[in-house]
Structure 1
């Protein structure tokens, strides 16, 4: 009885050890802070082959230390994250990755936690089902069996005690049903508790990051990849004006004004007269001329406003130019016009701040 009484508590103490986490102190000297951040971020994605589900930063096993230093060394040599992960995978297999690619060879790694949980539930269910008839027969035998003189004397002595001992307490402790139910609850709270830990949130964010097909690319490579995909879509739908407009916006943000004008021109060709496209072309011309209102820029703005007098980009461009040239009255008037338009594209709080700043600048002249 003593062992059964403390068994659930003992199991609980064992199962809650998942919250324990230890960090090691490494003596590796990094050249600069960015190198350290990149190295630690990559090492945290790799699993120690010798340990119990610990990454390279959490383990001080010789294998983990060797792998961790190999990562640091490759980062110092200028290797990219993709190259380091490929090297480690080739050397240690897909098991070394916390997020291995889903294929037949790694299917066991992905499904094993769910299979184990289901098997435990099935085992508990069949154990409960098999023990239930025995328990019923036991209690039936106890009820139907005539009480011996010794049993009657024992009951009489028990009833005369000042503090009665509950007859159900012993049966509860010895009941397989109660014990199985307790274990099932502990398992449920253990699994649920993991999802409440910060570590799960961090791992999930890392999974989302690595799920992005472009995450291994540098910012420049990502931009090139986005551009390549956009160009491929345009090749498939060359008369899609919306795709041409997106391409023009991409070139504008890259300060590639010539290509931006070509892309916006194609968008205008396939969509027809469009206030937003005219204002976008005006924006390209404005920055191409060094933020000067050229004749062609004004012409594009006029075309845009003739279609939509409250076109946001056109009015914002005029207001910004007026503010830069200390024409605060005009800037305030244009920003107020945008506020009055109640357009969803307008950031009202920013416009109000801009108007207040313009009023301050005007009063201080």
Structure 2
């Protein structure tokens, strides 16, 4: 049992391998730009991680490409354009507003507006609507009176039943 436990403990460090990329930058400004860009670009393979946090080989290649482009003097916008051209708008966590992303940016506000409009119309209709069927009888002094909904006989019968229930 101890041999098995010792074997597992020896294999444990090998299972937790993580590649750490070390990049040399010519100045601190480029290093800050690198950190910002790799934090904003999404890994195409991982889908919900940026390329700075992803361990995927593709993310490592993209980090290397961003580093190369920064050292060559490429602007942030140029690097982002290169990535978008290569991988599409999906690579951006905050896609640009254009014809293809209009629904993504403004769709939730349109749906919210439609929802508010529906709630307002329903509440307005409920407030303004009156019963279309026969009107209920009205109670005066504890006794029901005949109205459009009840005939005189029905009102008397209702009053007798209610009187009998209250006596019990």
Q: TM-score range by the shorter chain?
A: 0.3 to 0.5
Provide the TM-score with structure 1 as the length reference.
0.23
- Structure with a larger share of its residues in helix: 1
